[in-house]
Structure 1
Amino acid sequence: MYSGHPLMNSLCLKRDEAVTCQYLLSRERDDSSDLSKSNGFRLLGQLLVHAHGVVSTDNYLNKCMLLLPEYSKDTPSPEPGLECSTFVGNSCCKKGVTLPFMTEYNWQNITDYLHCPQKVALEPQCQKQFFEELCFFLCSPDIGPWIELATHDEPVTDRFKDIPICASVCDQWYNACQDEYTCTDNWYIGFNNTSGMNKCHEGTQCLKYPEYFPTSKSFCENIWDKSFKVVPDDEPCMHFSYDATSGNNPNRAVAEARAKELSTSSSLRIYISQILIVGLAILVYKVNT
């Protein structure tokens, strides 16, 4: 994206504002050679309008990642028949999104969980843990505060980063997969993905997970390139699955608390931006009068 005036860039904070930001930045670029009085004040007006209303926690909640278009939603909604039972009542993904993981141990012919030749199947408990983690990644309606633009090779638009997961969740996942094999300690950037499916780089060695991930914390935090951050169970933390039929979603409170933190921080940035915009308005007025 074109990088223009720092005031413009300071307002381009979230993915859902990308279209507006791209428009404003392009207008700034187009007008930069001849910043007329009318163009200058129109730009300032657009900035001020845009600066209002981005501080609500709603900007971070009930948001979905943009993954595979045929399976992604803009906002979460019920999804009857979804294979991820935790998220049937409120899901960011559509039915069939996890296929064919449960039968072929790969996701959408993009991620092969059996990329090493030593085994032809995951251990049942390891498969269960990876399935719950995959469902959380694809379908959870509570990941909005951690969404970022993806920068890896997979054909998706978004990712999340540093979502706090409970240490007990991490331990259970890691302990279930002790006998599985891999050839890298980072499944986002450590593979050869030129064929579309993740393959081990030539010369790398397939070893059991503990050889690449000596602790549960290193496993959970590094396997997906810092997507997760392991925290003690007595701190706000996420669960991959829960009994949604009980009406109790433990992840919601964690997301709401983080959204509140982000909205407060955003409010401060916008307040500072508005002060700078007023200064810019005075400068534009002086230049054009």
Structure 2
Amino acid sequence: MSGRGSAWALGTCWDLSGHCLAGGKHKAAPGPEGHLGICQLYAANACCSSKVAQEISSTPLNIYWNRCGNLSPRCEQYLQRVECFYCCSPSAARWPHPQRPTAVLEVPLCLSFCEKWYTACQDDLTCAHNWVSDWQRGPQGNNCSQDCVSYHQVSA
């Protein structure tokens, strides 16, 4: 299924809504964006600007995932896909976090996507079990509030 009324997000087809998540780096309403680089999937009806998409594709990825050191290329690719969905897809607005409206909660994911994501990242390091709440927020952004462990250890 493709076209203006739908988009593939993390392996699932959803109807595009007319809303974006509140605040943060999201636009007020989705609309066309010409050049979204790795987030091009959402260009026809994006909740992000080309500047935000460029930040997602920057190397090293300057988002909270790499607070324990550089990520493997495979893991970084999966995290970029997730960030593209979060920032650019109007479908992300279907699952706003009740206490943090700029975050999402309980987004359904395909088991096959989760298994491939885990395989790609299992040896990489993270310091968060929950990417919404397990951070010390400071002037430089989100920082670790726990020790760095492998994704495999987090899931154990």
C-alpha root-mean-square deviation of aligned residues, in Å? Answer: 2.1
Pair member with larger Rg:
1
CA distance in 1 between partners of 2:144 and 2:60 (Å): 18
Partner letter of residue 212 of structure 1? V
Aligned to 1:142: 91
Matched length: 139
CA distance in 1 between partners of 2:81 and 2:126 (Å): 20
Identity %: 29
Aligned to 1:63: 19
CA 1:182–1:149 in 2, change beyond 3 Å: closer, same or farther? same
Aligned to 1:209: 151
CA distance in 1 between partners of 2:106 and 2:28 (Å): 22
CA distance in 2 between partners of 1:149 and 1:95 (Å): 28
Structure 2: state its 5+ residue gaps: 1-15
Aligned to 2:142: 198
Aligned to 1:103: 59
Q: 1:199 aligns to what SS in structure 2?
A: strand
Partner letter of residue 164 of structure 1? P
Report how far residue 211 of structure 1 moved.
0.7
Report how far residue 134 of structure 1 moved.
0.2
CA 1:143–1:206 in 2, change beyond 3 Å: closer, same or farther? closer
CA distance in 2 between partners of 1:206 and 1:143 (Å): 28
Contact 2:71 2:125 in 1 (8 A): no
Q: Deviations over 1:97-151 (max 9, x none)?
A: 14165313223xxx2x2212xx4x2111111100010000001122333224543
* Structure 2 residue 28 is matched with structure 1 residue 74: yes
CA 1:86–1:184 in 2, change beyond 3 Å: closer, same or farther? same
**1:130 aligned residue (73, 76, 79):** 79
Aligned to 1:114: 66
Q: 2:132 aligns to what SS in structure 1?
A: coil
CA distance in 1 between partners of 2:84 and 2:56 (Å): 13
Aligned to 1:87: 42
Report how far residue 205 of structure 1 moved.
2.5
Segments ≥4 residues shifted beyond 4 Å: none
For normalisation by structure 2, the TM-score amounts to: 0.77
